[in-house]
Amino acid sequence: MSESPKTNFSRRKMLGSAGQIVATAVISPFMQEAEVRAAAGADRVTVLPGRTYLSGWGGHGAPPKGPRPAAGTGVTAEWSKRSGPGEVSFADAKALTTTAGFSKPGEYVLVLTVSDGRTSASSTLNVTVDTPPPARQLDAVYTKDFKIDSPFWNARVKAQIVNWIPHCIDMINRTDLNLGPGGIDNFVEAGKALRGEPHGKHKGYVFSNAWVHQTVEAMSIALMCDAQGDAEIVAAQAKMRATLDDWIPKILAAQEPDGYLQTAFTLQREEPQRGTSSTEPLKHWERRGDHEGYVAGYFLESAINHYLMSGKKDARLYNAAKKLADCWCANLGPAPKKPWYDGHQEMEQALVRFGRFVNDMEGGGKGDSYIQLAKFLLYCRYTSARNEREKAEYDQSH
Residue 354 phi/psi, 5-degree rounding, is -70, -40
Round to whole Å and give the CA distance between 364 and 355.
Answer: 12
The β-bridge relationship of strands 120-130 and 44-47 is parallel
Residues 161 and 245 occupy one common structural domain: yes
CB 55 within 8 A of CB 391: yes
Q: Given this model, what pLDDT does residue 234 score?
A: 99
**Buried/exposed 350-362: b ≥16 CB within 10 Å, e otherwise:** bbbbbbbbbbebe
Residues 161 and 99 in one domain: no
Q: Pick from 46, 53, 49, 50: which is nearest to 108 by CA?
A: 46
Last residue of a domain, one of 95, 130, 165: 130
Say whether both 317 and 221 belong to one domain.
yes
Residues 102 and 220 in one domain: no
Whether residue 333 is contained in a domain is answered as: yes
Cα(30)–Cα(371) distance, integer angstroms: 55
The pLDDT, as a whole number, for residue 384 is: 82
Q: What is the DSSP letter of 97?
A: E
* Within a domain: 204: yes
Q: Indicate the SS3 state at residue 266.
A: helix
User: Is 201 among the domain residues?
Assistant: yes
Cross-strand partners of 332 = 338
Strand partners, 176: none
Q: Bridge partners of 128?
A: 45, 107
Alpha-carbon torsion 378, 381, 383, 384, what sign? positive
Contact 120, 36 (CB under 8 A): yes
Residue 255 confidence (pLDDT):
99
pLDDT at 14: 43
C-alpha 94/C-alpha 142 separation (Å) is 49
> Can you give the pLDDT at residue 6?
44
d(CA 104, CA 138): 24
Q: End-to-end alpha-carbon separation of the chain, Å?
A: 74
The CATH number assigned to the domain holding 98 equals 2.60.40.10
Last residue of a domain, one of 130, 145, 175: 130
pLDDT digits (tens, 9 = 90+) for 106-131: 999 999 999 999 999 999 999 999 99
CA distance 50 to 273: 39
Which parts of the chain sit beneath pLDDT 70?
Answer: 1-33, 65-73, 270-281, 398
List all residues 6 or more positions away from 323 whose beta carbon is below 8 Å from its beta carbon: 255, 259
124 with 169, same domain: the answer is no
Same domain, 191 and 76: no
Q: What is the predicted pLDDT for the residue at 397?
A: 78
| Cis amide prior to 336 (ω within 30 degrees) | yes
Phi, psi of 139 (to 5 degrees): -70, 145
Residue 3 lies in a domain: no
Same domain, 125 and 219: no
211 and 251 share a domain?
yes
Nearest-10 Cα torsion for 16, 17, 19, 22: 180
The answer to whether residues 311 and 227 belong to one domain is: yes
Domain C-terminal end among 82, 98, 130: 130
One domain for residues 78 and 198:
no
Domain for residue 10, yes or no?
Answer: no
Quote the pLDDT of residue 381. 87
| 19 in any annotated domain | no
> What is the predicted pLDDT for the residue at 139?
87
Kindly report the backbone phi and psi dihedral angles of residue 81, in degrees, each rounded to the nearest multiple of 5, phi listed first: -100, 125
Q: How many domains does the chain have?
A: 2
What would you report as the CA-atom Rg of the chain, rounded to the nearest whole angstrom? 30
Nearest to 129, CA basis, from 106, 110, 152, 112: 106
Q: For the stretch 249-284, what's the b/e string if a residue is b when 16 or more beta carbons lie within 10 angstroms of its beta carbon?
A: ebbbebbbeebbbbbbbbbbbbbeeeeeeeeeebeb
175 with 296, same domain: the answer is yes
Residue 1 belongs to some domain of the structure = no
Domain-embedded: residue 116:
yes
Q: Which amino acid is at 24?
A: T
Range of the domain at 91: 36-130
Do both 231 and 113 map to the same domain?
Answer: no
For the chain, how many residues are written?
A: 398
The span from the CA of 172 to the CA of 174, in Å, is: 6
The residue among 227, 223, 261, 226 whose CA lies nearest residue 242 is 223
Task: Say how far apart CA 145 and CA 305 lie, in whole Å.
Answer: 11
Q: Whole-angstrom Cα distance, residue 101 to residue 90?
A: 7
Contact 165, 177 (CB under 8 A): no
